Every structure is written in C-alpha cells, then in structure tokens.
C-alpha cells in the first residue's frame, strides 16, 4: 500500500502532500426548530410557503428588525419567533437552537391545498416542527404527523434529516381524559389549559406556545437529560387559577401523560413549566401500552445515534472503497467504539453486553451493500423517586 498519493519523479525534491483524516468523533448535536405561523396580509406572495433561516435566532430585539419587513410587524409568525427566543433568553439559557420559519397566508386555517405548506418543508432539516393550529384538531394533527413521519424516514439521511417531532398545543380541553389520542412518536402534544376570555385570555397564541415549547426542548443539550419542571421563559400563568392543573399521581398531570400529552404546570412562584416532556406514543402498535421509549429525550438520543452512524459512514475511509470483509470488520469496530462513547456520555448503557449482537454483513441479493444492526439501550431519565418513611419507636429507651 502506497503511503502517499504523490506521483513518481526523478528530479531530486521533497514533495509533501497534506490530507485530512476521517473525522472519528461525534457530529454536532445542535438542534433546530421550524416555526409555522401566519404572516401579515401585506406579506409578499414570494415569502409565503417559503423556508427562511433566521439569522438572529438568539436575539429577541434584532429578530424584529430582521423579520418585520418580511412578514409584518405584529404578525403571528414574528411573535412566534420572539416567543421561541424568549423561552430560553428569559431563563438565562444561552443555548439557542437555530430557527427556521415558513409563513402561512394571514387568513389560512389549515395546511393549505394538498398540504402545500407542509410540502414546502419536505427537504428542510428541523428537529422540531411547530403547528399554529389547535392540537385538538385530529385532521390537522394527522397531516402534520404524516409529514413528520416522511421526513424522519430511513432514506432521508442524505437530506440531513435524522428524525423530527411535530409540536401541537391545546388550551381549550378542560378534562385531560378528553385530549385526543394521537399515539405516535412523531408528535408532541402540549396541554396548557387556559380557558380565559377577554381580559382573562392568554397573551400567547397557539403558534407562540408551540414555538416556545419547541425551542426550550431543542435547547436541551446532548445527552438530552429530562426537562421535568423546566421553566419556559416568557410564558405567563393562566389568569384564571382554576385553569392551573393539578400535579401528581391520579391527578390531572397523570391523566394527560397517560393520554400521551405533555402537561404544562404553574410552579409555586408563578413560573410556567413542563411537568414531563413526552411524545404522543402510548402503545406499541399491538395494543399494549409502552413502558419505555416515549420520552422526547429517548428519541432525541436515537435520532442523534442515527446522525452519528450516518456521519461516520460518510467519512473517507468508508466512501469509494471495496465492500470487503476487512472493511465490514472496520465498520463494526467503529460503530461499537462510537456506542461506547455514547455510554461514556451517559446516553447508552450496557454496550459491552450488546456489542456481540452488532452485525455487519453483506446483503443477500446486493453484493455492493452492507446490512448493519446496532442494538442499543438508551439510558432512561430518572423521573420518580419513591420513598418509604418508616415511623417507628426504635431507640426510644436510653440509659444515662
């Protein structure tokens, strides 16, 4: 094997080439949010149903100067972007996700003819996609769910799409047991009961609520620990205290979680916070309730693993090479090594026990293809510490 790619020559010299070695570390785990919202009636048609990447994704003032001329001052979309930024800025979080937007016509009440507004994002990388529509609308939820499933598919990796969540919000359902069953990991349903009207109405639109919730979840850094009781900056508690949900076993928060919805609570100091961030996945497809892999963070880890496997496989030592047994062995070794890194970081567990089950083999009908299996065990978040206090009379007696 030649040590260099330098051509032979007879003239005395010392030619020196520089090459870049394969990148063997983890890729960036930064998250992004795609925000949908209605633009002002004066917005140019060319700016409707078109993707725009926000430059001032961490500046709630600068973003107004950037977006107001495009989408209209005070428009739902601009306000939603500001809400997304404030969700982190107002709680001192400096990890701002990249924001992208797609404007809807000012009077549109759905995803458009043939869901044109969703189709505009078919090739857009976004970890969270927010809806401006009521999360109790089963039809619109289903359309967003289908879109998210599409862009999260196994073959979307070449578009830098490794897995997304749709985020919908409901405020009007009073009984959490009446929240619609979505039962799909593609969507995150946020339940923030707020039934006030007039002066008692919420200061945020559904689009703003969705953007704020998504931005806070997207700011959560790898290895994606839980967000129990995490405060959403900029959110105000419902004016009617009767809308503040009860939190605990057999109470409203538990009912919402059992329906596959993420409930929003009001803390003792008046801050608004998640109770627990879950996807809408509640069954395994065979009618049995799932007991694992329904937290948002579990799927963030899995989607980041997908990105890691893709990124490593795209490096020079696995591109434009022979599909040899030696290369298969090298790939398997790299995947186990990266899984061990996930374990060190607190994302995976029991990698040594699972490593013998990693498989890289030639496809039975396509000799140019490797089929790969990487069984992993995501470390679950700690949500409950159940404590028994035993009140006894031991050591009552003493002698002086």
- Residue 223 preceded by cis peptide, ω within 30: yes
What lies within 8 Å, CB to CB, of 342 at 6+ separation is: 223, 301, 305, 308, 348, 351, 376
**Model confidence band, residue 398 (pLDDT cutoffs 50, 70, 90):** confident
Residue 185 contacts residue 280 (beta carbons within 8 Å): yes
Phi-psi map region of 74: left, alpha, beta (phi>0 left; psi -120 to 50 alpha):
left
**Model confidence band, residue 399 (pLDDT cutoffs 50, 70, 90):** confident
Residue 20: predicted pLDDT: 87
Q: What is the mean pLDDT of residues 365-390?
A: 98
pTM of this structure: 0.95
Please state, rounded to an integer, the average pLDDT across all residues of the chain. Answer: 97
Phi-psi map region of 178: left, alpha, beta (phi>0 left; psi -120 to 50 alpha):
alpha
β-pair type (165-170, 187-191): parallel
Q: Would you state the structure tokens that stand for residue 28, as one six-digit string?
A: 């960036």
pLDDT (tens digit, 9 = 90+) per residue, 294-338? 999 999 999 999 999 999 999 999 999 999 999 999 999 999 999
Residue 7: predicted pLDDT: 93
pLDDT (tens digit, 9 = 90+) per residue, 338-374? 999 999 999 999 999 999 999 999 999 999 999 999 9
Residue 115 contacts residue 147 (beta carbons within 8 Å): yes
Of the candidate ranges 196-205, 256-265, 270-279, 313-322, the one whose mean pLDDT is the lowest: 196-205
pLDDT (tens digit, 9 = 90+) per residue, 38-74? 999 999 999 999 999 999 999 999 999 999 999 999 9
């Amino acid at each position: 094997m030649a040590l260099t790619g330098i051509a032979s020559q007879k003239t005395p010299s010392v030619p020196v080439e520089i090459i870049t070695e394969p990148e063997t570390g983890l890729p960036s785990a930064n998250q992004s949010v795609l925000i949908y919202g209605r633009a002002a009636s004066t917005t140019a048609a060319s700016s409707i149903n078109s993707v725009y990447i926000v430059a001032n994704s961490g500046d709630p003032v600068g973003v107004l100067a950037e977006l107001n001329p495009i989408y209209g001052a005070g428009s739902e979309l601009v306000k939603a972007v500001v809400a997304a930024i404030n969700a982190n800025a107002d709680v001192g979080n400096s990890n701002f996700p990249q924001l992208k937007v797609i404007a809807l016509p000012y009077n549109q009440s759905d995803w458009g003819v043939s869901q044109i507004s969703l189709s505009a994002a078919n090739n857009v990388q976004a970890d969270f996609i927010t809806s401006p529509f009521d999360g109790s609308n089963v039809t619109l939820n289903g359309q967003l769910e289908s879109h998210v499933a599409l862009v999260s598919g196994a073959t979307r990796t070449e578009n830098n799409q490794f897995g997304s969540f749709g985020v919908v919000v409901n405020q009007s359902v009073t009984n959490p047991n009446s929240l619609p069953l979505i039962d799909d990991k593609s969507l995150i349903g946020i339940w923030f009961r707020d039934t006030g009207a007039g002066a008692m109405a919420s200061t945020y639109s559904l689009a703003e609520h969705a953007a704020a919730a998504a931005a806070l979840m997207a700011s959560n850094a790898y290895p994606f620990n839980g967000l129990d009781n995490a405060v959403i900056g900029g959110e105000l508690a419902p004016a009617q205290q009767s809308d503040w949900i009860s939190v605990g076993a057999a109470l409203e928060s538990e009912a919402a979680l059992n329906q596959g919805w993420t409930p929003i609570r009001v803390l003792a100091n008046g801050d608004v916070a998640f109770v627990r961030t879950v996807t809408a996945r509640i069954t395994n497809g065979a009618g049995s309730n799932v007991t694992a892999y329904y937290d948002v963070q579990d799927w963030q880890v899995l989607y980041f693993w997908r990105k890691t496997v893709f990124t490593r496989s795209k490096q020079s030592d696995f591109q434009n090479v022979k599909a040899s047994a030696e290369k298969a062995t090298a790939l398997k070794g790299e995947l186990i090594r990266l899984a061990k890194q996930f374990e060190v970081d607190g994302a995976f567990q029991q990698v040594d026990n699972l490593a013998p089950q990693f498989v890289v083999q030639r496809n039975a009908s396509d000799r140019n293809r490797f089929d790969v299996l990487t069984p992993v065990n995501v470390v679950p978040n700690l949500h409950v510490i159940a404590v028994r206090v035993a009140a006894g009379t031991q050591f009552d007696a003493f002698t002086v």
